[in-house]
Amino acid sequence: MSEHTYMRKELRIAALLVIVALGMMGVASSQEATHEPDADIQKAILAADNERYDAMQKKDMAALDRLHGDGLVFINTKGRMLNKAEYLEEIRSGALKFLSVETDDYTFCIYGDTAIMSGRAKSVVEYHGVVNKKPRRFTSVFIKMHGQWVLVAHQATLIADESN
Amino acid sequence: MSAERILRIGLIALACSGIAKAQSDVPSQAVQQEVLKAEASRDEAMQKADMAVLNRIYADNVVIVNTRGVHLTKAQRLADFQSGDLKFLSFDQGDYSFHIYGDAVVLNGRANSVVQFHGKVNRVPRKFTLTYVKLNGEWRLVAQSETLIDQPQ
């Protein structure tokens, strides 16, 4: 076999290996983007959110650290924007306390590894010594990271009294 | 061909495929620019009530929570713009921060725009969270939430 023929054979093998490798990456990528049914994802997110509330009430900082993304942006009903460290510190210090937890009226929209969960909260919250019983709407953004749904953004807005 | 040579070619092929994959991950700066461009188009379309652009940018299942804590659908939000029930009297939005998670971007910011909603003028600044997701190659708004910033008494 001449050197030229030998090189062409090598190139063909290399090209074939590239195609196989890219094909394998494509399969892996499409598996990441799908195919867990939405109902199962909703259950997983609700479970993560319940665990989050439970951890807040118990001040379980390890669980809270795990359930919130490092880039967390939390906007509270006063329009204050908190990062993860600030938010967890409010819980740890007792500045933010849940006296009761009640949420309902959920809406879910799922886009691969991104989930939007919106709902209504009637939880009673003590914030810097002031008790807030007013109902609010919240929107939470969860991202699946390393197989776990974590909260990366949350915003709460008081529900206005319609008589105003 | 020796086994060693085949192995070498295989490793080069895998390295090449790795480079191809890395190149497909758009750098975060570029993603920010793309999302800002989509957001600028939305801002302009809101002021002009350009329904075609708004229809393209808002995802069909977008979740919107306005400053009154009302949950709105895409149809309701677009109808507000079309009817003139929601109007921008001035537009001022900025102080952006971005968090990028693959094909999802969380964009936070502050709005000082003066807005007329169902006849009532609102000048109170607000904080917002916008979530954009890349769907079929286009950045679409999938969630929008706004909260008035509590003013010191």
Q: Does A103 touch chain B (CB under 8 A)?
A: no
Does A79 lie in the same domain as A31?
no
User: For the ranges A24-33, B66-75, B76-85, B105-114, which has the lowest average pLDDT?
Assistant: A24-33
Query: Which pLDDT value is given to residue A161?
Result: 80
Q: Would you say residue A120 lies in a domain?
A: yes
Using alpha carbons only, give the angle A106, A112, A113 rounded to the nearest 5 degrees.
80
Can you give the residue ranges of every domain in chain B? 27-148
User: The domain at B27-148 falls in which architecture?
Assistant: Roll (3.10)
* Bridge-based pairing state of the strands B58-65 and B138-148: parallel
Provide the token pair at B74: 């895409």
Q: What is the largest CA-CA distance in chain B?
A: 82
Beta pairing partners, A158: A136
| Residues A138, A154 contacting (CB under 8 angstroms) | yes
Q: Would you say residue A164 lies in a domain?
A: no
Does A29 lie in the same domain as A46?
no
Does A63 lie in the same domain as A16?
no
Report the CATH number that the domain containing residue A149 is assigned in CATH.
3.10.450.50
CA distance B4 to chain A (A): 12
Quick one: three-class SS letters along chain A?
A: CCHHHHHHHHHHHHHHHHHHHHHHHHHHHHHHHCCCCHHHHHHHHHHHHHHHHHHHHHCCHHHHHHHEEEEEEEECCCCCEEEHHHHHHHHHHCCEEEEECCEEEEEEEEECCEEEEEEEECCEEEECCEEECCCEEEEEEEEEECCEEEEEEEEEEECCCCCC
If you average pLDDT over residues B136-144, what whole number do you get? 97
pTM score, whole prediction: 0.81
Percent over 90 (pLDDT), chain B: 80
Q: Would you say residue A52 lies in a domain?
A: yes
Query: Distance between CA B106 and CA B129 in Å, rounded?
Result: 7
Does A94 lie in the same domain as A61?
yes
Chain A residues close to B131, C-beta within 8 Å: 114, 116, 141, 153
Does A151 lie in the same domain as A125?
yes
| Residues A150, A74 contacting (CB under 8 angstroms) | no
Tens of pLDDT, residues B11-56: 555 554 444 443 344 569 999 999 999 999 999 999 999 999 999 9
Does A15 lie in the same domain as A79?
no
Radius of gyration of chain A (CA): 24
Query: Distance between CA A119 and CA B47 in Å, rounded?
Result: 29
- Number of domains making up chain A: 2
Does A25 lie in the same domain as A75?
no
CA distance B146 to chain A (A): 7
Percent over 70 (pLDDT), chain B: 80
Average pLDDT taken over every residue of chain B: 87
Query: Residue A98, class by beta-carbon neighbours within 10 Å (0-12 exposed, 13-18 middle, 19+ buried)?
Result: middle
Q: What is the ipTM of this complex?
A: 0.82
Q: Among positive and negative, which fits the CA dihedral A130, A131, A134, A139?
A: positive
Query: Which pLDDT value is given to residue B152?
Result: 65
Query: Distance between CA A11 and CA B87 in Å, rounded?
Result: 63
Q: Does A107 touch chain B (CB under 8 A)?
A: yes
Query: Distance between CA A49 and CA A47 in Å, rounded?
Result: 5
Provide the token pair at B31: 């993603």
CA distance B127 to chain A (A): 6
Q: Would you say residue A163 lies in a domain?
A: no
Does A78 lie in the same domain as A17?
no
Q: Would you say residue A22 lies in a domain?
A: yes
Q: Would you say residue A20 lies in a domain?
A: yes
Q: Would you say residue A18 lies in a domain?
A: yes
Q: Which residue in A has a C-alpha nearest to residue B71's C-alpha?
A: A137
Does A31 lie in the same domain as A73?
no
Does A31 lie in the same domain as A17?
yes
Provide the token pair at A138: 């919240």
Q: Does B96 touch chain A (CB under 8 A)?
A: no
Q: Would you say residue A66 lies in a domain?
A: yes
* Residue A67 C-alpha from the chain's centroid: 8
Query: Which pLDDT value is given to residue A34?
Result: 41
Using alpha carbons only, give the angle B30, B20, B26 rounded to the nearest 5 degrees.
10
The residue range of the domain holding A95 is: 38-158
Q: A21 CB contacts (<8 Å, ≥6 apart)?
A: B13, B14, B16, B17
Backbone torsion region of residue A134, taken as left when φ is above 0, otherwise alpha when ψ lies between -120 and 50, otherwise beta: beta
Q: Which residue in A has a C-alpha nearest to residue B69's C-alpha?
A: A159
Residue B6 has pLDDT above 60, yes or no: no
Query: Distance between CA A96 and CA A91 in Å, rounded?
Result: 5
For each of chain A's 164 residues, which pLDDT tens digit applies? 556 666 566 656 555 554 444 444 433 333 333 456 789 999 999 999 999 999 999 999 999 999 999 999 999 999 999 999 999 999 999 999 999 999 999 999 999 999 999 999 999 999 999 999 999 999 999 999 999 999 999 999 999 986 55
Query: Which pLDDT value is given to residue A13?
Result: 57
Query: Distance between CA A14 and CA B2 in Å, rounded?
Result: 14
